[in-house]
Amino acid sequence: MVAGADRVGVEPAASLEELLADVEGPRVVAVGGGHGLAAALGGIRGYAGRVDAVVTVADDGGSSGRLAPALDIPPPGDIRQCLVALTPEESVWRQLFEYRFAGADVMGHSMGNLILAALADIEGSFDRALASAERLLGSVGSVIPAAPEHLRLEATIGGATVRGQVAISLARGPVEALRVLPKEAKATPRAVEAIESADQIVLGPGSLYTSIMAAMVVPGITEAINRSSAQLVYVVNLTTQDGETLGMDAADHLDALIRLTGVRPPAAIVAPKEPVDAAPPLEPVRVDGDVLATYGVDLVTADLVDRTSSRPVHDPDALGVVLGSIIE
């Protein structure tokens, strides 16, 4: 702690205008949550002059689902993953943020989630907690909650109302509508400002409804994307997701994204060059360039698969090369 200061973070986060004053390179905003957004950020940080992550605050599972309502903070799990993804150097702080307890009363909790919760109490606000966490980790960008508070995701699926991010992710059937509660929720002003100032906005990869759209349906987020002059890019998932997107191809994903959020069609869609192996009932997301062309988008394909992983996931470095080439 700095002498004479009562908080870990001495100064509030600088304004976006100040942060962008000396930026060299594209200003990139990635929107979503979970492992998919973290993979995108790991690649984006390699070519962006400035990178911001706008993260869903509707997670109600696991450690986040226990901490957010109890402490009245945004769910920290997805935010923590993004902070780590924006941290290029190994350190004790990074190891702490990634550590997960396996037993006792704290079983299932991530140490990073607990640190963010503690910092919010020490600093007096979650914004200040994030600023302090970024300093401790040496993050190369900022993580911005899509809304200032914990929100609840609600969907209409097959005519029925389903509430909660976990319940929606497990439900089967056509998703006809998606929204957040309370209805009067509004986007974090800093998230809107970052989106409107971006040169490139990246959607995905990640759970279509419960990560990507969960952030976009916060009132003000999609509106800011549509006002922005930034190049909009959508990264297609490698496989379908049980409960959310079974049987959906790339065009189905794109159609749902546009129809349920009202977002403008992206300038480009990034997809794997070759289908990946997927264990049933999952299957590779099929990509038909002719169908996607009817949306007025460019299809960009490349080898995007992380060959070191035991399951189909994006290689952050490969994804970063493709996204960087698109903005160039």
Point out which residues pair with 180 in neighbouring strands: 153
Residue 95, CA distances (Å) to 77, 110, 112, 117, 287 in order: 15, 11, 9, 17, 38
Maximal CA-CA distance, the chain: 63
pLDDT exceeds 50 at position 300? yes
Based on the structure, what is the number of domains in the chain? 1
Give a yes or no: residue 15 inside a domain: no
Q: How confident is the model at residue 292 (pLDDT cuts 50, 70, 90)?
A: very high
CATH code, domain with 226: 3.40.50.10680
Averaged confidence pLDDT in the chain: 91
More confident residue, 105 or 224: 224
Neighbours of 288 (CB within 10 A): 12
**What confidence score (pLDDT) does residue 256 get?**
98
Give a yes or no: residue 17 inside a domain: no
Q: How confident is the model at residue 11 (pLDDT cuts 50, 70, 90)?
A: very low
Give a yes or no: residue 28 inside a domain: yes
Give a yes or no: residue 8 inside a domain: no
Kindly report, residue by residue over 52-89, the tens digit of the pLDDT: 999 999 999 888 888 998 899 999 999 999 999 999 99
**12-16, 235-239, 279-283, range with the lowest pLDDT:** 12-16
**2-16, 17-31, 155-169, 292-306, range with the lowest pLDDT:** 2-16
> Is 12 in a helix, a strand, or coil?
coil
**What confidence score (pLDDT) does residue 15 get?**
57
| Helical H segments across the chain, by residue range | 16-20, 34-44, 62-71, 76-85, 92-98, 111-123, 126-137, 165-170, 189-196, 213-216, 221-227, 250-261, 289-293, 316-327
**What confidence score (pLDDT) does residue 10 get?**
36
Give a yes or no: residue 6 inside a domain: no
Give a yes or no: residue 311 inside a domain: yes
- Of the chain, the percentage scoring pLDDT greater than 70 comes to 92
Report phi then psi at 161, rounded to 5.
Answer: -90, 125
Q: 115 lies in which domain range?
A: 24-327
